[in-house]
Structure 1
Amino acid sequence: MFPLLCLCFPIPGLNSETTDWPGWRGSRGDGTGEGSPPIEWSEEKNVRWKAALPGVGLSSPIVWGAQVFVTTAVPTGKKRAGVVSEHFTRPFELEEQEFLVLAFARASGKELWRKRVNQAMPHEPTHPTNSFATPTPVTDGTRVYCSFGSFGLYALTLTGELAWQVDLGDLTNNGHGEGSSPLLYDGSLILLWAHWGNSFLIALDATNGKERWRTPVPAGNNCSTPIIVHVEGRDQVVCAGSRTIACDPRTGQELWSFGEPNGGITSMASPVAIGELVLVPGVDREDLRALVAMPAGEPAEMLWSRRSNDNIPSPLAYDAKFYFLKGDSAQLTVLDSASGEVEYGPERLQGVSEAWASPVIAGGRLYVTGRDGTVEVLALEPEIATLAVNVLPDAFDASPAAAGDELFLRGKSHLYCLAEPDLK
């Protein structure tokens, strides 16, 4: 038997307060927050501040202490037309990008600093619905670590000074773009580098960017982000994909794997875990798979699988249940984690018609962010029910950050801080 209790511990290296949101999907990497953000908002209600954002990006905001950080890519206007490559036989046009990291005051939304870390012409296009600034940064409270994929990995101080940078080369993803976010673990920065070329999981020393280990992974388009799973007293880093792999986060040693490489099918959603049970999102619209993570040398076991027709929003684990969203039609399904049996849905949401951002849970409520500026808030107990449908004049494809009693939304044009007015 495996434990079904949700292990509520932060990832080593992310010793954040419950009011912070230090990286992709929060301090535990599972999309759940400890606070109680507002239920209702509008342009006139519960918007503490909004700040204009330059350029284009899908990275989530991260929150640490008094600062909020976000990345973006700004087109410079310099273009290169008639480009062809091994994977693109028809000519395409590229536009040079300026890659920025921005910091805002958490209390007011005032821009504190912006740092240009690179300016470059892309080697291939990204998908029209993706961006050149999709990976979410991560912080340990000393530095902010930002991946721009093919355009570099950067460590900045909290005041915007460059500490180090690393170039891992170019990712080739057939124009789908890039998106895997870095993960901090016990002084290491872990990053999945998967594409149609040489693919690997890599760990860098967070203090200087020097390589600690590198483990091969199957080639193919993969924008998912690894997670940490605790198995019989030891941590494992688990990577989703056509072949799911678990490694020792300290050495990179492969501990177990499940499945076979399938020729480079796209994976976008990240896995999530309850105890030693790992839910691996469907790869290219394949099945959701619930895998029991095992100690080193023992093969993982598939406990159950269920057909999934979407692979963009990442699933959630909460109260021994898995929540997943069919993004293109905004249908919510809740599964019992032990059996895979459906406890709710699939049910179309009332206010959101399409959702590509990964939902979050905070204050016992589910927040689903729509592409049209709509956010639906749902109660989870005693039964799932819509509490509010909120609309802002923006478009939301980036996943929200639920930091304490505040909710941060990254829109196409603005960054928003949502909070009750009596908060200081």
Structure 2
Amino acid sequence: MTKLRGGLTVGLAVIVAAVVWPAAIFAAPGANAGDWPQFRGPDGKGTAVGEDYPLTWGPEKNIKWKIDLADPGAGSPIVSGGRVFLASATEDGRQRSLLCIDRNDGMLLWTRTVEFGEDITHSKNPFGSTTPATDGEHVVVWHGSAGLHCYDFAGKPLWSRDLGEFKHIWGYGSSPILYKDKVLLQTGPGERVFVTAIDLASGKTLWETDEPYSGDKSPDDVGSWSTPVVAHVDGQPQVICAMSTRVNAYDLDSGDLLWWCDGLNGSNYDVVSSSPLIGDGIGFAMADLRGPAMGFKLGGSGDVTASNRLWHVEKRNPSSVGTGVMVGRHIYRPNSGPGTLECLDAETGESLWKSRARDHWASMVLAGGHLYALSQRGTTVVLKPNPQAYEQVASNELDGVTNATPAFSEGEIFLRTEEHLYCIGK
């Protein structure tokens, strides 16, 4: 196998474990409005299209299908063109896969696997914990040190990239997103951390922008597992990233760092797991492991900490793995240790209510006028986005442990646990 550092991977060893189907069924249908094409949905904001999603389910209720998964993983499913795509990996990380599943019956259509050598991760973050992204014709998956890979809907490899080594005691977790003709990826954690844009058609690098670290923490206590969000700011699309110590905004075309807001570095750790929340002219970001949280205005130039930071809470925050949802001027967030569901005022940071819950590592989703919050124990709480009070609608139990965010598409919910993938529908 010949690898070009930072370039296209030539002759990458790919194991094809696929069911052979007539070529006609693989005609790429293109993206449609009901797809869930990447982490946290079509716009990366955790909001689903459509209204008619189930509010209640259980082992014997509203389960359209359920399939076994060979290996655990925290990567979320995506849904497009009658297919469900899911990242997976063996326990030792030596084989990392993309699965393609028929959304109608749960049948495995094909698997594409790449081989890799020795690597490390954390027991709570198994390999296979990123989410693929698709435009309805291409599907892209990042396997950390094992590379970034692009396939068509028939499973044909289109290109692969070796972006370097990303080793950390807590593993990797940031997911690629697609915006028009670009793949956007926030790499790390590792020795080198950068944000990159890659041409979706060819796999060639369009730009890379390094994120230097100048803090005082050890490498094991620094990193970001956040996924970028594209937002329109000052009349132009910008790539918003929550890095280990600050929030950065990059020019979509050039990769230039446009502005940044400091405030995510903590007293013991400089780590971020959740993605930034973007509303109308305002943003929210939160560190993990009980680190800081902050609200900020979008836009400006250079260091906007003094001018744009609206509020900053350094201490007494919960841990934050999953990402919340911003509805108007209110933030609804799932907390992980202590496990709570919480509503904040985005402009002031005031906590409006807090409800005790199990630990939530999955991100919250707004669908059909309801918020869905999945706990590590497989319980999905459904609640109203009511800033006045906690208003629970339902609590749904499924067997299994999970850290994966569900996907919502055309009235159906696709939920991954360590052992199963479910399709939930009326």
Superposition TM-score, scaled by structure 1 size: 0.85
Distance 1:265 1:356 in 2: 19
Identify the match of residue 356 of structure 2 among 312, 335, 348. 348
Is the CA contact (8 Å cut-off) linking 1:281 and 1:314 kept in structure 2?
Answer: no
Distance 2:86 2:281 in 1: 32
Paired residue total: 380
1:108 aligned to 2:102? Answer: no
- Which residue matches 2:41? 26
Distance 2:188 2:59 in 1: 40
- Which residue matches 1:189? 183
Deviates more, 1:301-310 or 1:22-31: 301-310
Q: Per-residue deviation at 1:282?
A: 2.3
Distance 2:172 2:281 in 1: 29
Is the CA contact (8 Å cut-off) linking 1:328 and 1:356 kept in structure 2?
Answer: no
1:249 aligned to 2:252? Answer: yes
1:16/1:298 Cα in 2 relative to 1: closer, same or farther (>3 Å)?
Answer: farther
Deviates more, 1:19-28 or 1:258-267: 258-267
1:50 aligned to 2:45? Answer: no
Is the CA contact (8 Å cut-off) linking 1:281 and 1:315 kept in structure 2?
Answer: no
SS in 2 for 1:266: strand
Is the CA contact (8 Å cut-off) linking 1:274 and 1:320 kept in structure 2?
Answer: yes
Distance 1:244 1:372 in 2: 31
Q: Deviations over 1:85-134 (max 9, x none)?
A: xxxxxxxxxx3521111111111111111111x112233x2111001111
Q: CA RMSD in A?
A: 1.9
- Which residue matches 1:156? 151
Is the CA contact (8 Å cut-off) linking 1:230 and 1:275 kept in structure 2?
Answer: no
| Counterpart AA for 1:304 | W
- Structure 2: give runs of 5+ residues left out of the alignment: 1-29, 214-221
Q: Per-residue deviation at 1:297?
A: 4.7
Distance 1:284 1:226 in 2: 20
1:280 aligned to 2:285? Answer: yes
SS in 1 for 2:145: helix
SS in 2 for 1:215: strand
SS in 1 for 2:76: coil
Identify the match of residue 422 of structure 2 among 397, 411, 416. 416
SS in 1 for 2:94: strand
Q: Per-residue deviation at 1:303?
A: 1.0
Identify the match of residue 299 of structure 2 among 294, 298, 301. 294
Q: Deviations over 1:343-379 (max 9, x none)?
A: 3x22213xxx222111111111111111112111112
1:236 aligned to 2:238? Answer: yes
1:355/1:260 Cα in 2 relative to 1: closer, same or farther (>3 Å)?
Answer: closer
Q: Pairwise mapping of residues 275-424 of structure 1 onto structure 2 (< 5 A)?
A: 275-297=280-302, 299=304, 301-306=308-313, 307=315, 308-343=317-352, 345-349=353-357, 353-381=358-386, 384-420=390-426
- Which residue matches 2:218? none
Identify the match of residue 144 of structure 1 among 126, 139, 147. 139
| Counterpart AA for 1:258 | C
**Runs of 4+ in structure 1 displaced over 4 angstroms?**
260-264
Distance 2:339 2:81 in 1: 33
Q: Per-residue deviation at 1:287?
A: 2.0
Deviates more, 1:372-381 or 1:255-264: 255-264
SS in 2 for 1:303: strand
Superposition TM-score, scaled by structure 2 size: 0.85
Identify the match of residue 83 of structure 2 among 67, 73, 78. 67
- Structure 1: give runs of 5+ residues left out of the alignment: 1-14, 76-94
Is the CA contact (8 Å cut-off) linking 1:194 and 1:218 kept in structure 2?
Answer: no
- Which residue matches 1:177? 171
| Counterpart AA for 1:339 | T
